[in-house]
């Protein structure tokens, strides 16, 4: 069976969420998901070392793959690792996760917010009330301590 094709006949990297796709319509692959797939598909030491270098650079570039790969062009990459990096760049470009310098639109930001349910509001209220109670008790204890020394009340 060719690489990247699943037994059901679907392509793992189509991104469309069709039959047999590893990426469903409700879930977009992240950069690290793509790297994980490449690690499984290319278990060689040179591929692993090249992907380790990319992950280290992603930490420096705040997950901007284009910038990380440009930094890696200046450093030696293991033999055979260059093809894996090219495949990573192609898949990331296809998924739209290769350049995180573009800010999210207001609609994308709004859609990423989770709705607040009643239990979360209740927990927030209890945390606020308990911290207010601790503050009142601390002030009362401080006043009582000062009163025992200074006898002002």
Same domain, 57 and 86: yes
Residues 85 and 139 reside in one and the same domain: no
**Do 88 and 131 belong to one domain?**
no
Tell whether 7 and 32 lie within a shared domain: yes
Give the pair of three-digit tokens for residue 27: 């879930």
HSE, side-chain direction, 13 A CA sphere, residue 53:
22
Q: How many Å apart are CA 75 and CA 70, to the nearest integer?
A: 9
Are 33 and 80 members of one domain?
yes
83 and 121 housed in the same domain: no
The reply to whether 72 and 90 lie within a common domain is yes
Same domain, 91 and 140: no
Whether residues 39 and 84 fall in one domain: yes
Count how many residues are written for the chain.
153
Tokens read off for 122: 């209740």
Q: 94 and 127 in one domain?
A: no
Whether residues 13 and 51 fall in one domain: yes
- Output the pLDDT for position 101: 64
Non-local CB neighbours of 46 within 8 Å, separated by 6+ positions: 78, 79, 80, 81, 84
State the pTM of this model.
0.51
Total domains in the chain come to 2
Domain that holds residue 127: 117-150
CB contact burial 73-97 (16+ within 10 A = b; e otherwise): eeeebbeebeebbebbbebbeebeb
Mean pLDDT by groups of 10 residues along the chain of 153 residues: 42 43 53 91 92 90 86 87 91 83 71 88 97 98 94 83
């Amino acid at each position: 069976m060719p690489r990247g094709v699943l037994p059901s006949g679907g392509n793992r990297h189509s991104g469309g969420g069709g039959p047999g796709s590893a990426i469903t319509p409700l879930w977009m692959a992240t950069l690290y998901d793509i790297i994980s797939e490449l690690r499984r598909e290319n278990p060689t030491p040179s591929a692993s070392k090249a992907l380790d270098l990319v992950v280290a650079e992603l930490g420096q570039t705040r997950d901007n793959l284009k910038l990380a790969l440009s930094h890696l062009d200046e450093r030696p990459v293991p033999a055979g690792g260059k093809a894996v990096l090219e495949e990573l760049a192609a898949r990331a470009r296809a998924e739209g996760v290769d350049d995180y310098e573009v800010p999210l639109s207001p609609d994308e930001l709004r859609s990423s917010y989770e709705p607040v349910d009643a239990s979360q509001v209740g927990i927030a209220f209890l945390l606020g009330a308990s911290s207010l109670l601790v503050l009142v008790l601390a002030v009362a204890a401080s006043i009582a301590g000062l009163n025992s020394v200074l006898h002002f009340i």
